Amino acid sequence: MQTLREIRRLLTEAGLKPRKRLGQSFLIDGNLLSMVADLADLTGDEVVLEPGPGTGTLTEELLGRTRSVVAVEIDLGLCELLRKRLGGHENFTLICGDVLAGKHAISPAVLEALGPGTHLVSNLPYAIATPLIAECLLVSWRATRGEGASGCGFERLTFTVQREVADRLSASPGSASYGPVSVLVALLGVVRPGRAVPASAFWPRPKVASRIVRIDFAAARAGELADAETLQWLLSLLFGQRRKQVGSLIRRPAGGFSADALRAALSAAAVDPTVRAEQVPPQKYLAAANALACGAANDS
């Protein structure tokens, strides 16, 4: 695995340096990097998506553990470095560009390079972590329903992420960290927090600590959700003004739903209209979203 000295050398020889705008921080602790790969529990036959491979230190480890690695790097200078270092590996595919196509979709080019049962393993760039995790789960939900042109679905996500985001992923109702992504993960996956990662394990050193996290997609649980778009819309509506009581947010039509339909959906889910969004547990969000989706289907 690459040491700090080797990473510095590789960047210097390529005329590159870490780009603050892209949030580039390279994991330089070999033991922790091995823990990321170990927690992924690869069998050797998976296709692995690695967003933000950087200089390829985790990539090199993954290439020896799995059938195929699809690395997605937005920094064109690092893309060229990766081509020179790893382009000779038959099980290495490099996509130069953004893994996300906007905030709410994974790049079609990335999805086309993957398939069913994909694993994500990555030292995730902080700026894209939350939307990418959410989109991986939603892509997997669509795959269980036969939706999505690529047929891609994620079996497991294993990554490092800033500790604040890790807290959100497993947050319980009533906590300050609880939000839309907490609900989505609770309904579509199983979170397995790993080791804490100090800021000193990265270069350049970030201002925050991180954590290794694994999320297994829960297909059976995901099958209970009738329509993911309706759930996302409902979460956006209620958490958009999280300090207000949920009953005050449904007094007028929104998102194509009448106020009566919104009120009926919350009632069907036994959601007290005087509570705030952060006090509603995931299962009640599921019930309310399903009631909305069912009502919309019956009206059409």
The tens digit of pLDDT for each residue in 20-49 reads 888 899 999 999 999 999 999 999 999 999
User: Does residue 133 sit in the same domain as residue 37?
Assistant: yes
147 and 262 fall within a common domain: no
Statement to judge: residues 70 and 215 lie in one domain: yes
Last residue of a domain, one of 222, 237, 268: 222
Listed residues 175, 205, 222: the one ending a domain: 222
145 and 265 share one domain? no
Cβ–Cβ contacts within 10 Å for residue 176, how many?
A: 9
Domain boundary among 222, 239, 262: 222
DSSP-based helix, strand, coil % in the chain, nearest 5: 45, 20, 35
Whether 216 and 247 map to the same domain: the answer is: no
Whole-angstrom CA distances from 277 to 177, 216, 247, 249, 260 are 12, 26, 10, 10, 19
Pairwise CA distance, residues 153 & 156, whole Å: 9
Residues 258 and 176 in one domain: no
Structure-token pair, residue 234? 């409902």
What is the domain extent for residue 239? 228-299
Query: For the segment 255-282, what is each residue's pLDDT rounded down to a tens digit?
Result: 889 999 999 999 999 999 999 999 999 9
**pTM recorded for the entire structure:** 0.95
149 and 267 fall within a common domain: no
Same domain, 162 and 264: no
Task: Tell me the Cα Rg of the chain.
Answer: 21
Which tens digit of pLDDT belongs to each residue from 139-195?
999 999 998 767 899 999 999 999 999 999 999 999 999 999 999 999 999 999 999
Spatial contact of 138 and 160, defined as CB atoms under 8 Å apart:
no
**Overall domain count for the chain:** 2
Using a pLDDT cut of 70, give the percent of the chain over it: 98
Over residues 59-70, the pLDDT tens digits come to 999 999 999 999
Assess whether pLDDT exceeds 70 at residue 298.
no
The answer, yes or no, to whether residue 92 has pLDDT greater than 60, is yes
Pair 247, 198 in one domain: no
The residue written with tokens 């039509």 in the block is 253
CATH code of the domain containing 254 = 1.10.8.100
Task: Tell me, yes or no, whether 217 and 243 share the same domain.
Answer: no
DSSP 9-41: HHHHHTT----GGGT--EE--HHHHHHHHHHHT
Closest Cα to residue 192, out of 25, 41, 52? 41
| Residue among 115, 47, 33, 110 at smallest CA distance from 74 | 110
Instruction: Give the domain CATH number at 194.
Output: 3.40.50.150
